[in-house]
Amino acid sequence: MKIIIVGAGEVGFHIASHLARENKDVVVIDKDPAAIRRVSDNIDVQVVIGSGSSPVVLKEAGIKEAEILLAVTDSDDTNLGACLVSDLISPSTKKLARIRHADYDEYHEAFREHAPHIDTLINPDIEVVKTIEMLMNVPGAVEVGEFADGRVIFVGIRLDKSARLVGIGLSEIFAKTGKQSPLIAAVVRDEELIIPRGNHKLEAEDLIYFISEKDKFRDSLSIFDKHVEPINRVLIVGGGGIGYRLAALLEKNSVYTKIIEKNSDRCIELAEKLNKAVVLHGDGSDQELLKVENIQDMGVVVTLTNDEETNIITSLLAKRMGAPKIITKISKFSYLPLMSMIGLEQVVSPRLSAINTILQHIRRGKVLSSRSIKDEQAEVMEAVALETSDIVGKPIKEISIPKGALVTGIIRNDTVIIPTGKSVIEPNDRIIIFAKKQAIPEVEKILAVKLEFF
């Protein structure tokens, strides 16, 4: 499978390295020789220097043989241009554009349906706001994802020292709590991700990833001694695109919201657009301002400015001043591994969201969604079990599931089944698979249609 990526920025770079690891043929196009050099030095892909919206450059990169074009530069215009030009040269190539401006929100369908076609517009900001909303609702969650239209929740939580499950093996959870444990897909200890067995003992500070039905979610959380509490007050630092989207959403949900923005013109604009939210003009890292606005009484503080360092500093400041829950926006990938070290665990990244969304479109078989977790060490995928694929019609323990992968949920019509070895996957079930990155190509294979049916 040949994939062309326009843009060698953080998003392009990480998607390229992800795909190269899975042995796909990748060509990366960028104008900036330094960015291209970083790609060609580190990733096994072909590179082309030039503008991604130029027909000559796209032809040189081999657009005609490409199955997918990903336009992921930081410029909406270049991305649109690249997709439109590609559609002229090679209509059969599937085209995805990363578009960030909110003005395009209503036109995603139009681009898909009218020529020249763009198959998918991806706006990471929308995904980020969704993630922030989910993180707000789950106490102690480091990562949250939804599958099966929100009926299944995938959560990563940090086990507290005081939790009763510390030192308990997975198979003893029922005996200890009297409740059916949710399926634990993975445990991260000392930055290393493992798929645990029944005799695996949990320890304090373990990061536990589990899958739960939405209805039973509160119960599942209580097993880990976490409790859902409603959020009524939120402070947003940074009134950019994401900040505004979030504020508008919270307003709709009748949450009391304050939003701090440095730029006075932007404040006026925000005040016009928002009705109930309090718009404050000032610097988020100004301690006096935070004190005056009673930061310690805020349910959640979200730092969303466009400056990484400001977000980090503001979050740390808020933490020291007693804010119970803090969500930080980070774009630079190299900062992500540092965040848990400095005590800021709830992190959102628009770029990571973009990558997650794009990946699900590239996956073979009928993968509905996928997201990578813990510095891309593993991925969770939701897929439709095709009638002709290898996984249907027999008990799970008889399927040759690749090492490092785990079927963590089966959704049949309206019921969610947490599978055991005896469960049988039926055609058109939706399944949720958890896979370490080494196992992903194999997982794709078993999900795909068997060849003789073509």
Asked if 103 contacts 111 with a C-beta cutoff of 8 angstroms, the reply is no
The smaller minimum CB distance to other proteins, of residues 27 and 183, is found at 27
Q: How far is the CB of 40 from other proteins (least distance, A)?
A: 7
Contacts of 320 (CB under 8 A, 6+ apart): none
Sole residue written with tokens 């003893």: 172
Phi-psi region of 277 (alpha: psi -120 to 50; beta: other; left: phi over 0): beta
Shortest Å distance, C-beta 44 to other proteins? 5
Least distance (Å) between residue 47 CB and other proteins: 7
Minimum separation from the CB atom of position 444 to other proteins (A) = 17
Of 17 and 75, the one with the shorter C-beta distance to other proteins is 17
- One-character DSSP codes across 327-344: EEE---GGGHHHHTTTT-
> Nearer to other proteins by C-beta: 43 or 185?
43
Closest of 121, 114, 113, 51 to residue 80, by C-alpha:
121
> Angle 356-140-323 (CA atoms, 0-180°, nearest 5)?
110
E-strand stretches of 195-283? 207-213, 233-237, 256-261, 278-281
Task: Quote the CA–CA distance of 373 and 144 in Å, as a whole number.
Answer: 10
Nearer to other proteins, 11 or 16 (CB): 16
Which of 94, 7, 82, 95 lies closest to 49 in space, CA to CA?
7
Q: How far is the CB of 106 from other proteins (least distance, A)?
A: 37
Question: What is the binding site for other proteins (CB under 8 A)?
Answer: 2, 20-21, 23, 25-27, 33, 40-41, 43-47
Of the pair 283, 376, the CB lying nearest other proteins is at 376
Q: How many Cβ atoms sit within 10 Å of the Cβ of residue 292?
A: 11
* Of 41 and 190, CB closest to other proteins: 41
3-state DSSP call for residue 185? strand
Q: Which run of H or E residues covers position 253?
A: none
**C-beta closer to other proteins: residue 41 or 215:** 41
For the bound state, the minimum distance from the C-beta of residue 358 to other proteins, rounded and expressed in Å, comes to 18
431 residue type, one letter: I
DSSP helix/strand/coil, 447 = helix
**In contact, 154 and 181? CB cutoff 8 Å:** no
d(CA 337, CA 188): 13
How many other CB atoms are found less than 10 A from the CB of residue 109? 9
Q: Smallest distance from the beta carbon of 22 to other proteins, in angstroms? A: 11
In angstroms, what is the minimal distance from the CB of 46 to other proteins? 4
Nearer to other proteins, 66 or 183 (CB): 66
CB of 25 to other proteins, least distance (A): 4
Report the residue number, 57 or 433, with the smaller CB distance to other proteins: 57
Query: How many angstroms separate the CA atoms of 399 and 390, rounded?
Result: 7
